[in-house]
Amino acid sequence: FAPWNDPNAKPYIQFDNVTKKFGDFTAVNNLSLTIFEREFFALLGASGCGKSTLLRMLAGFEEPTAGRILLDGQDLRGIPPYRRPVNMMFQSYALFPHMTVENNIAFGLKQDGMPKPEIASRVAEMLKLVKLEQFAKRKPHQLSGGQRQRVALARSVAKRPKVLLLDEPLGALDKKLREETQFELMDLQQNLGLTFVVVTHDQEEAMTMADRIAIIDKGEVMQVATPAEVYEAPGSRFVAGFVGNVNMFEGKIARGEAGAASIDAGNGITIRTDNAGAASAGTAVTFAIRPEKIKVSSKKPAEAVNAIEGEVYDIAYLGDMTVYHVKLDDGQVVRASTMNAARITEDPLSWNDRAWVSFRPDAGVVLTR
Ligand code: ATP
């Protein structure tokens, strides 16, 4: 499933040069974005970046100040929320406290005037979908947070919208339940064949669930890509730093030919990279490398092109992996991690030991913005 790579794929949701201003404040700035049918799409960004505003404009609670939003080719301007084939699930769930689970799920269907027998069968189907059959007669306060979340989900898909918008859907759940529910949401989206657009500030959540992620900053799209691309090939310092842990070296291309270059990172550190792209000699660059691409050893590695000496600053054992912080002689602290099952770093290192960090020339990316 990768319609974004298919030049003939029809865009489903299109933000077309959309701007949203609140008074003098620009919450969304001339933003364009395409989402495909049946995609699980995440809008990821820090608080206040404008991601909820994007969702609210798609739902029809706000109108763009400029630009258009299209759904299946139709301009949505002026169409009220209840007439859009879009439903929104709020972080607060907004369940009716005095109504049973089944009445909460049935509410929208009744309002639409659906015949009673049809409502009953639809509600039963939804209860089964979210595995809450035994809880039909309970009220929201008699449910756990995770169960309430599932009622809200059942209610928002009961009307069979074409698009479900989820604003921080798992924000109220604790870490463990949140992780379980991420997989449930993915299954549900697959089974229903809907298009999901989720807003989250949690990069792990976006990485886990989404087919593609748009990283938003100050009302603008910084990058749109699959989770793997965002992580492995961030296009900017902002994206590299926002998603996952990363080490950054500031420097200048010293010498370069056809993608391979040396970067002078100051303090006697030279980095050899195969990933310099078109950056030419003299260009100021950031070299960004993920912790798991860096090896730590007590002796200078014979084979490594890139080896920098420092001192073990601290070591954290996290069960699945061990994280090393190594302070280089110029003071910069490098983060390196090793999966404990793989054990790339086999040296018995201790705090304050002299150590070498090393990495291959094909690891890491060279960023110019
Ligand atoms: P959060 O995760 O905190 O909800 P967000 O990225 O979803 O953040 P938005 O809710 O889209 O952010 O808000 C973007 C910016 O627009 C914020 O600075 C917010 O204060 C502002 N804003 C949103 N709605 C309004 C409004 N109705 N009037 C004025 N300013 C608003």
Q: pLDDT tens, 96-114?
A: 999 999 999 999 899 889 9
Q: Whose CA is nearest to atom 9 of ligand 1?
A: 50
Give the Cα-Cα-Cα angle 302, 274, 347 (nearest 5 degrees): 30
Indicate whether 197 pLDDT > 90.
Answer: yes
Question: What ligand 1 atom has the least distance to the C-alpha of 22?
Answer: 29
Q: Ligand 1: does its nearest atom lie under 6 Å from the Cβ of 48? A: yes
- What pLDDT, in 10s, does the model give residues 144-179? 888 888 899 889 889 888 999 999 888 777 888 888
- What pLDDT, in 10s, does the model give residues 198-223? 999 999 999 999 999 999 999 999 99
To the nearest whole percent, how much of the chain has pLDDT over 90? 68
Q: Ligand 1: does its nearest atom lie under 6 Å from the Cβ of 181? A: no
Mutate to test the pocket of ligand 1, among 28, 43, 53, 55 (most ligand atoms within 8 A of CB): 53
C-beta separation of 288 from 364 below 8 A: yes
C-beta separation of 93 from 172 below 8 A: yes
**Of the candidates 84, 133, 80, 83, the residue with the CA atom closest to the CA atom of residue 105:** 133
118: left (phi over 0), alpha (psi -120 to 50) or beta: alpha
The residues pairing with 71 across neighbouring beta strands, listed in sequence order, are 13, 74
* 75 CA → ligand 1 middle, Å: 24
Q: Which domains does the chain have, with CATH numbers?
A: 3-240 (3.40.50.300), 258-367 (2.40.50.140)
Q: Whose CA is nearest to atom 18 of ligand 1?
A: 48
pLDDT bucket at 346, cuts 50 / 70 / 90: low
Q: Ligand 1: does its nearest atom lie under 6 Å from the Cβ of 52? A: yes
Indicate whether 139 pLDDT > 70.
Answer: yes
Q: What is the pLDDT of residue 177?
A: 81
Cβ contacts of 354 within 8 Å, gap of 6 or more: 298, 309, 310, 311, 312
Indicate whether 93 pLDDT > 70.
Answer: yes
Q: Whose CA is nearest to atom 19 of ligand 1?
A: 48
**Of the candidates 285, 294, 288, the residue with the CA atom closest to the CA atom of residue 365:** 288
| β-pair type (220-225, 306-317) | unpaired
Distance of CA 26 to the CA centre of its chain: 23
Strand order in the sheet with 321-328: 295-297, 354-359, 306-317, 321-328, 333-339
Average of per-residue pLDDT across 259-266: 88
Question: How many angstroms separate the CA atoms of 352 and 52, rounded?
Answer: 46
Query: ipTM exceeding 0.90?
Result: yes
- What pLDDT, in 10s, does the model give residues 270-296? 999 998 888 888 899 999 999 999 999
Buried b (16+ CB within 10 A) or exposed e, 194-228: bbbbbbbbebebbbbbbbbbbbbbebebbbbbbbe
Q: Whose CA is nearest to atom 2 of ligand 1?
A: 47
